[in-house]
Chain A
Amino acid sequence: MTPRTKPPDAFSPGETPTFEVSARESLRDSQLRRNLGKATQTIRRKRAVAVEELPDWEELREAGRALKERTLRHLDTYLLQLEESVTRAGGVVHWARDADEANRIVAGIAKEKGADEVVKVKSIATDETKLNEHLESEGIHAFETDLAELIIQLAGENSSHILVPAIHKNRAEIRELFLRELDVEDLSDEPKDLTNAARLYLRKKFLNAKVGVSGANFAVAETGTISVVESEGNGRMCTTLPPVLVTLMGIEKIIPRWRDFEVFMQLLPRSSTAERMNPYTSFWTGVSGEAGDGPQEFHLVLLDNGRTDVLADEIGRQTLNCIRCSACLNVCPVYERTGGHAYNSVYPGPIGAILTPQLVGIGKPGPDSLPYASSLCGACYQVCPVKINIPEVLVHLRGRVVRHKQDGGTLRQRLDPENVAMQAMAKTFSDPKLYENAQGLARVGQWPFARGGKIGSLPGRLAGWTAVRDLKPVPKQSFREWWKEERG
């Protein structure tokens, strides 16, 4: 099989469509709607039960938040400490300013080993840098070994969920894909058989690969220990079988001490898969030495790629607390209906809506539309195990998007109808006289649209409202008019 390249997203060169445009397509996909609806409702319920079991859940969340916040405050110190501990344990640390630098480092290591194949354990950081595409361009095939990642890689698609990347596919589709791509003769659509086909295929890859590539859930500054938390055991294979292991991680994945795991290992599995403990948690510190299992050579690539910019934003920086549990996706009413592809980013859902525009920078139409892909209902904040106030960051980023447009200062931006309307309304609201006049005008201005005691259609952008809802006409007397009459 030839790994296909994924469609471009916010982290690829060029522009991506806005959320509104992409969502329209996803909303019409009936299979996606039912799969997602069912999956998110089930996991929501299970998560609530798993969390309910811990009487100190709120304290744990607070501890997780505080640990992350302190780490980020002293990130420079902890990163140097991590470099030192990893080096002491026999690993090599590389620093990558951006995606390109990170990709070149990984490709360089693979080429040096003469590898034309690498096995990968699911890592969103490498999706962010487009590592697979880069390796491909240097003649190196990257094989995803997580079942769902394998599926979407074979299909040449993007992941639609952080944890369940193939949530949008059903088993008939997966069976067809495997028959076509994996050289199997006969296959039922039973999950057991599908998994087995993937297992046989991947087993060969694991045993032959010279280089394994992973991401990281956590990296302990104090000891240099890296951790990957997973469900299938493919991560364990990737990080122990190949003689060379390369881990690419964002600089925010650091935790100060070994004992901090106590907090995060309670928060993460319950939030993500609603399990008390996930099936496989791998820890490794440097290289394995002479006798033991595991890699003889270990490289850690520390990736910035916009993260220090996020850190510089006082309100936005809490985004870096994220431990990628995906609880916010599962409770999000927008995500539940549009799915992940509408976000055009390797980071979908509420976390994607705040992380993507911050990482790629404000001023690009696609990512700029993401902070608006929310009704600000706050369900995400309520479940986030590290207490990221996602609605607050969404609102803050909307402000940055608007200020960027206004200060960009082109005439077109200033004459943007929304901007003009908002300026006019702000002026109206700042003066009770103007405001009262506007109330009167609203009453008069609606008559072209009112019919039979309701308004069934509005012009322009407001047509979105009346496409599915009637509008009640403005009543004859405002509250303040009544007050003046009765009490004035």
Chain B
Amino acid sequence: MRVALFITCFNDTLFPETGRATVEVLERLGHEVAFPEAQTCCGQMHFNTGYQREAIPLVRRFVEIFEPYDAVVAPSGSCVGMVRDLYPMAADLAEDPDLARRVDELAPKVFELSEFLAKRLGVTDVGAYYPHRVTYHPTCHSLRMLKVGEAPLELLRNVRGIDLVPLGEAEQCCGFGGTFAVKNAETSAAMLGDKIRRVLDTEAEVCAAGDNSCLMHIGGGLRRLQAGVETVHLAEILASGASEER
């Protein structure tokens, strides 16, 4: 299987450690990972903010770059959601039936990391060791757009040493929502406040999720409050401590 990593522009620039962890987990499972260097951004921010004509060239680029692979894996539920759920809309807007056809072929091969591991590969134990108290926020796009379901939690439950505590009202949005966090900053903050309260209720050291965008928002709030809770991407937990265990 030819597996390509779609790092996402956001992780590439701001969270390179998540990308390195993703590569490590996939390689540990015996996959050779390709990183097509022409990749940039899936166009989600443009598309969701309404700059949809501007997103079309980015959709075309993505399709051209990634269609040769058997599977495309990204450590971001929302970017994968963009490709799977909204690329067809973009192709329609472009009035390009050829693009639409290629999108339809590519979309089912694009996976968020946890669903790739648990659903596509059927692996729920990646041999990680992470001796910390962790709570998991399921992020809306993974949960409701991609319907990854229990996949991330199954992976976490099999991590050695982890103390996984359930998050109250976990399925409630954290209030990030892309440009929503800036355009409707006050409402976003009100949502964040309630999410933080739930996180603190768990007395976890670490709040994990499958999307660094939500984590940057939650973590930014936690740090501002000096709450003493870290935010860590799921991939980094899965990549942790494996060498000691093996």
> Are B185 and A465 in contact (CB-based, < 8 A)?
yes
Q: Which of A442-488 contact B (CB under 8 A)?
A: 442, 454, 456, 461-462, 464-465, 467-472, 474-475, 477-484, 487
**Per DSSP, are chain A's interface residues mostly helix, strand or loop, or mixed?**
helix
Q: Which of A24, A431, A464, A487 has the most CB of B within 10 A?
A: A464
Instruction: Choose, from A87-95, A181-189, A398-406, the stretch at the interface.
Output: A398-406
Bin the interface of chain B by size.
Answer: 35 or more
CB distance A402 to B192 under 8 Å? no
Contact check, A468 vs B192: say whether CB atoms are below 8 A apart. Answer: yes
Please determine whether A422 and B191 come into contact, CB atoms closer than 8 angstroms: no
Q: Does A379 contact B (CB under 8 A)?
A: yes
- Bound together, the chains give a CA A465 to CA B216 distance in angstroms of 11
Distance to closest chain B CB from A159 (angstroms): 20
Quick one: which of A24, A338, A429 contacts B40, CB cutoff 8 A?
A: A429
Residues of chain B within 8 A of A468, CB atoms compared: 185, 189, 192, 220-221, 224
Q: Which residues of A contact B7 (CB under 8 A)?
A: 479-480
* Inter-chain CB contacts under 8 Å: number: 196
- Is A471's CB under 8 angstroms from B43's CB? no
- Asked if B12 contacts A422 (CB within 8 A), the reply is no
Contact of A442 among B13, B52, B224 (CB under 8 A): B13
Q: Which one of B51, B188, B223, B224 contacts A426 once the chains associate, using CB atoms below 8 Å?
A: B51
B36-80 near A? 1/0 per residue, CB < 8 Å: 011111010111111111110110010000000000000000000
- Are A373 and B144 in contact, CB atoms less than 8 angstroms apart? no
Interface pair A337/B52, CB less than 8 Å apart: no
Establish whether residues A482 and B182, one from each chain, have CB atoms under 8 Å apart when the complex forms.
no
Partner of A482, one of B20, B47, B85: B20
Check B165 for interface membership: any CB of A closer than 8 A. Answer: no
Range for the number of chain A residues in contact with chain B: 35 or more
Residues of chain B within 8 A of A419, CB atoms compared: 51
Interface string of A162-182 (1 = CB under 8 A from B): 000000000000000000000
Residues from chain A with Cβ under 8 Å of B55 in the complex: 426
Say which residue of A315, A333, A429 sits within 8 Å of B172 (CB atoms).
A333
Q: Which residue of A lies closest to B47 (CB)?
A: A395
Q: Are the CB atoms of B14 and A337 closer together than 8 Å?
A: no
The CA-CA distance from A467 to B46 in the complex, in Å, is: 24
Q: How far is the CB of A365 from chain B (nearest CB, A)?
A: 13
Inter-chain contacts of A422 with B (CB < 8 A): 46, 49, 51, 54
A66 beta carbon closer than 8 Å to chain B: no
- The reply to whether A375 and B185 form a contact with Cβ atoms under 8 Å apart is no
Query: Is there a chain A Cβ closer than 8 Å to B123's Cβ?
Result: no
Q: Known contacts A27-B187, A399-B50, A479-B12: does B181 contact A465 (CB below 8 Å)?
A: yes
Kindly report which residue of chain A lies nearest to residue B43, judged by CB atoms.
A429
CA distance in complex: A257, B38 (Å)? 56
Residue from B53, B172, B178 within 8 A of A376 (CB atoms): B178
Return chain A residues, CB-CB under 8 Å to B46: 422, 425-426
**Apart from A337-B190, A375-B176, A422-B51, what are 14 other A-B pairs with CB-CB below 8 Å?**
A315-B89, A372-B180, A379-B171, A398-B50, A398-B52, A399-B52, A402-B50, A423-B51, A428-B40, A469-B224, A472-B220, A475-B17, A478-B13, A482-B16
Ranked nearest first, the 10 interchain pairs of A and B with the lowest CB-CB distance are: A375-B177, A469-B220, A464-B185, A402-B50, A398-B50, A377-B173, A479-B19, A378-B144, A426-B54, A377-B140
